[in-house]
Amino acid sequence: MSAPSGNQVTKIDINGKTVIPNGRFITPAGNNIITAPHPYGLALSPNGNIAVTANSGTNPLSITIIKNIVSKNPELRQVPPGPATDKGVLASVFMGLAISPDNQTIYVSGGQTNKIYLFDVNSGAKKDSIDCSFKSENTDYSDGYIGDMKMSKDGKTLYAVDQIGFRMVVLDTETKKLKFSVPVGRYPFGICLSPDEKKIYVANVGMFEYSYIKDGKEKDAKIKPISYPAFEYGSKEMENGIENDSLSIKGLGSPNVIDAFSVFAISLADLQKPKVVAKIKTGHLVGSLIEGIPAVGGSSPNSIVATNDYVFVSNGTNDNISMISIEKDSVVKTIFLKPEERMKQFRGVIPFGLALSPDQKRLYVAEAGINAIAVINVSDQKVLGHIPAGWFPSKIEVSKDGKKLIIANAKGFGSGPNGGASYKLGIDGSYIGSLMKGTVQVVDIPNDQQLQETTEQVISNNFKFTDASDPILKNRANNPIPLYPGEKESPIKHIVFISKENRTYDEIFGQIKNGNGDATIARYSTNATFTNKKKTDSVSDATVMPNHLALARQFSISDNFYVDSDVSADGHRWLTNTYPNEWCETATASSYGGSRTFKENSKAPGIFAMNGAAGAIYPEDYNEAGSLWDHLGRHNVNFYNFGFSIMFEPALYKAEYKYTGIKQFVNFPMPKSLFDRTSKMYPTFNMDIPDQFRVSQFIKEFNSKWIDGNKVMPPFTTVIIPNDHGGDEHPETGYPFRESYMADNDLAVGRIVEFLSKTPYWKNMLIVITEDDAQNGVDHVDAHRSILMLISPWIKRDYVGHVHYSFGSLFKTFWNILDMPYLNQYDAGATDLSDLFDSTPNYKPFQAVEIDSRIFNPQKALSPFDEKFDWKSVKSSTKIDDEEDMFRESKEQDKNRLENREKKK
């Protein structure tokens, strides 16, 4: 199994095959209408003529109104019109939409504003709003995050979920007042009315209700930050909590309580008192054996539709659909989505939005993970086939005549390039979040014969299958990488996986002659000239990252590697072999669009949800089979972690937290197996801590454990070296330029590789270095193209590989080496890294290169890390993905590029 792209680069071809960053194709038939980024909400007007999307990808948040949606020439209106317009039009927007029966008014969920906005269909003007807040002696709904919604047929009542308030709101559209708040489960996500409007169903995607860590049980107890996450997922401490004289950490309870991963049925028989009449578990319970593996994540029920007799619920993590009897309010059937028999054991279809045909005979499912729409026969619940869609289809509607599908594709055709000599900068700028336009796809529903053909197209778009005995694979005989797990023993016994932050290929390697680079945007390569922000200091003719260039010359890099992620929030999920589900994707997009929900004094029970840019995975994100940590633990493969996957948000960042990088004050659990295998002296992401300090700590602990001690280096080691993220200038601590952080990172990478290459383990070692995302840079091929460096005696020397790779390629290679099965369809269906390996080892170690002292002063940066240093004089750290900082740097880059072009002219 491999990705179908082969050596093709990521490219947008609207009329043919688009190659997306994971090496798969998309071929969305029909009419594709471009919208603003990330349309996770979609509504069709009662007359079937108007479609509206809710776009929560970046500032400004927006809606797209499309009139004459099924015609050849639909009319499109963006509200607000573009990125330079008033952001106050929509302070927040998230997924929920409804259109009045007279087709004149659009109702838009206002996310963290705790409101619903009203817009005029024809003019796009904002008309009014409905406040969803409520406060009494016993209840405080002052804060809320309004999400998905449904409207009664007469248009008089609106039902919506409050994701952080754990409630459903009932609103009167005539008085524009909140009527009722009905408590539901954790993080309600989807909502639907039964056709007779006697019941309403709410899907809850959350696992836990999180709380502050405090210094005591008393009501007035103060928040008490701790240096390390409190407990391991699944442990007794996690369920029951920790209490002692100075610490009170509330337990999270069981992940299988009824409020978690469930559907609540609410009776509307008495309109003056709607009440919950049933609580229904859907999908697989956490811990249940699924094909021999205990389920790590919950089912993630997210979207709902109803016929006269049944309710259908998409379980995003389980790749199945639960069928609930309306009469009995219980699950009567599970429909499995396994589009390819050879991939049936691997999850990753990610069922999301649902829609029914007008005659209730067909159910359509947005399969976000394979960029397709499943067609299910309602009468016998058989999957009839699949229809190609755009990248990450999120929501679906069916035209009134039942002949067309209207599909919202959250990532559209991708980003495309965002820099380079031939790139023309548009009004959206170069920031990836602004370039990831969504699409609304209008496509004819195929007949049964056509559906067979479209199903074959979906399979070939996603996977390529080659018989292991095929002659094309004969050159693999002496390759150090097994063709599949167990095919042979690899000489590689120790893998070191290093993650950095936010860079593209062209920024660092754009000048390498045998690579597909653009030298005009290689700002961290050679002959670089730059100034500080105030233009009071400058450097010319500098090499910013000499160690990266030296490693590229001595070992192998790829010029066709892409991160699957858009930003750090989803990037840090991908880095642990966790594909982001619909909860993570929507929360990430809304957070980066400025919709953060955390308020320190909020009484909302779900206030810690949708936390955006975090360097960790949360229980709501867990895949059915878990992450790489669960995978390694299940197969008794030892590992050790330096800073990976422990940065939960919200948290505190201060320079004095030098041994952990941050302090936690919320009771998030760490992934199972990781808790006891993570360094307590190695700091995670914190831009106030030099990468030089990190590497010194790594060397110290490595020596004590695996050189001087009596233990052997584990087969798998993870390390985060994050300072190429960049931060504010601090000349007083050795960082006079933003480029200083790149130099710090470069020297740290050189030092760690030099150290590892001189250990006894080097002969059987592989070092893999990549980035969690590429959002802070520009690239002439695609904004997702990033750094992939392979360093080992078994690697080709001075080699640039051109095979298309993604994050899945890394993990597939790891599992082939470690003789472990694949974890999900993203690694199983990826192309491994074998092209970069050599059958004849070269044991020559690497010698780190000095960096330019004009750019970065390592000693000055390290001097504050003496224990006697006055920590209070150091400013607070840059957050992992501070939206304002991201946009500001992107705009500064765009401005500089335009100025340079004018000078050249």
Does residue 805 or residue 595 have the better pLDDT?
805
Q: Hey, is 610 helix, strand or coil?
A: coil
The Cα–Cα gap between 530 and 523 comes to 9
Q: Please report, for residues 95, 131, 352, 588, the alpha-carbon distance to residue 585 in angstroms, rounded to integers and kept in the order given.
A: 12, 27, 11, 5
- The pLDDT confidence band at residue 868, using thresholds 50, 70 and 90, is very low
Burial 660-688 (b: 16+ CB within 10 A, else e): bbbbbbbbbbbbbbbbebbbeebbbbbbb
Evaluate the omega torsion of the peptide bond into residue 821 and state whether it is cis, within 30 degrees of 0.
Answer: no
Instruction: Record the tokens describing residue 140, joined without a space.
Output: 């405080």
Q: Count CA atoms within 13 Å of residue 806 on its CB side.
A: 31
pLDDT digits (tens, 9 = 90+) for 185-209: 999 999 999 999 999 999 999 999 9
Residues 6+ apart with CB under 8 A from 320: 283, 334, 335, 336, 337, 351
State the sign of the Cα–Cα–Cα–Cα dihedral 269, 274, 278, 280: positive
The Cα–Cα gap between 258 and 282 comes to 10
Mean pLDDT computed over 391-414: 98
- The pLDDT confidence band at residue 119, using thresholds 50, 70 and 90, is very high
Triad 756, 757, 763: Cα angle to 5°: 110
Q: Hey, is 314 helix, strand or coil?
A: strand
Does residue 34 or residue 471 have the better pLDDT?
34
pLDDT digits (tens, 9 = 90+) for 34-92: 999 999 999 999 999 999 999 986 666 789 999 999 999 999 999 988 655 445 567 67
Query: How many DSSP H helices and E strands does the chain contain?
Result: 14, 45
Distance linking the first and last C-alpha atoms of the chain:
49
> For position 372, what pLDDT does the model report?
98
Residues 6+ apart with CB under 8 A from 282: 203, 261, 262, 263, 299, 301, 313, 315, 322, 324, 331
> For position 867, what pLDDT does the model report?
44
Residue 626 burial class via C-beta count within 10 angstroms: exposed 0-12, middle 13-18, buried 19 and up: buried
> For position 599, what pLDDT does the model report?
77
Lowest mean pLDDT across 473-477, 590-594, 603-607, 832-836: 590-594
| pLDDT of 256 above 50 | yes
Percent of the chain with pLDDT over 90: 83
Write the DSSP symbol of residue 851. Answer: P
Burial 158-187 (b: 16+ CB within 10 A, else e): bbbbbbbbbbbbbbebeeeebebbbebbbb
The Cα–Cα gap between 612 and 204 comes to 19
Lowest mean pLDDT across 164-173, 379-388, 427-436: 427-436
State the sign of the Cα–Cα–Cα–Cα dihedral 702, 703, 709, 710: positive
In Å, the largest CA–CA distance within the chain is 79
Cβ atoms of 242 and 213 closer than 8 Å: no
The Cα–Cα gap between 495 and 719 comes to 11
Q: Could you give the strand order of the β-sheet that contains 494-500, starting from the edge strand earlier in sequence? A: 639-642, 716-720, 494-500, 765-771, 788-791, 556-558, 799-801
| Strand bridging mode 97-99 / 105-109 | antiparallel
| pLDDT of 795 above 80 | yes
The Cα–Cα gap between 580 and 588 comes to 10
Mean of per-residue pLDDT scores for the chain? 92
Cβ atoms of 283 and 322 closer than 8 Å: yes
Identify the helix (H) or strand (E) that includes residue 372.
strand 372-377
Mean pLDDT computed over 843-851: 96
Triad 487, 489, 495: Cα angle to 5°: 115
| pLDDT of 869 above 60 | no
Mean pLDDT computed over 386-415: 98
Residues 6+ apart with CB under 8 A from 120: 104, 105, 106, 126, 127
- The pLDDT confidence band at residue 587, using thresholds 50, 70 and 90, is confident
Q: What is the DSSP string of 407-447?
A: EEEEEET------STTPPP-TT-S-HHHH-EEEEEEEEPP-
Q: Could you give the strand order of the β-sheet that contains 199-204, starting from the edge strand earlier in sequence? A: 188-193, 199-204, 262-267, 275-281
- The pLDDT confidence band at residue 596, using thresholds 50, 70 and 90, is low
| Type of residue found at 145 | Y
The Cα–Cα gap between 765 and 745 comes to 22
User: How many CB atoms lie under 10 A from the CB of residue 527?
Assistant: 11
| pLDDT of 871 above 50 | no
Cβ atoms of 854 and 539 closer than 8 Å: yes
> For position 886, what pLDDT does the model report?
53
Integer-rounded Cα Rg, in Å, for the chain is 27
- The pLDDT confidence band at residue 702, using thresholds 50, 70 and 90, is very high
> For position 631, what pLDDT does the model report?
97
> For position 86, what pLDDT does the model report?
47
Domains in the chain and their CATH numbers?
A: 18-210+252-462 (2.130.10.10), 498-598+612-804+813-880 (3.40.720)
Triad 598, 614, 872: Cα angle to 5°: 75
Write the DSSP symbol of residue 749. Answer: H
Of 574, 494, 480, 583, nearest to 823 by C-alpha is 574
The Cα–Cα gap between 164 and 607 comes to 5
> For position 875, what pLDDT does the model report?
39
Write the DSSP symbol of residue 152. Answer: -
Lowest mean pLDDT across 352-361, 726-735, 892-901: 892-901
| pLDDT of 593 above 80 | no
Q: Hey, is 362 helix, strand or coil?
A: strand
- The pLDDT confidence band at residue 899, using thresholds 50, 70 and 90, is low
Triad 402, 403, 405: Cα angle to 5°: 90
The Cα–Cα gap between 183 and 275 comes to 9
> For position 434, what pLDDT does the model report?
87
Backbone phi, then psi, for 160, in 5-degree steps?
A: -145, 155
> For position 873, what pLDDT does the model report?
37
> For position 712, what pLDDT does the model report?
97
| pLDDT of 811 above 90 | yes
Mean pLDDT computed over 553-568: 95
Mean pLDDT computed over 129-138: 95
State the sign of the Cα–Cα–Cα–Cα dihedral 850, 854, 855, 856: positive
> For position 638, what pLDDT does the model report?
98
Chain length of the chain? 905
Instruction: Record the tokens describing residue 292, joined without a space.
Output: 């021999």
The Cα–Cα gap between 759 and 708 comes to 12
Of 7, 27, 13, 3, nearest to 807 by C-alpha is 3
Q: Hey, is 490 helix, strand or coil?
A: coil
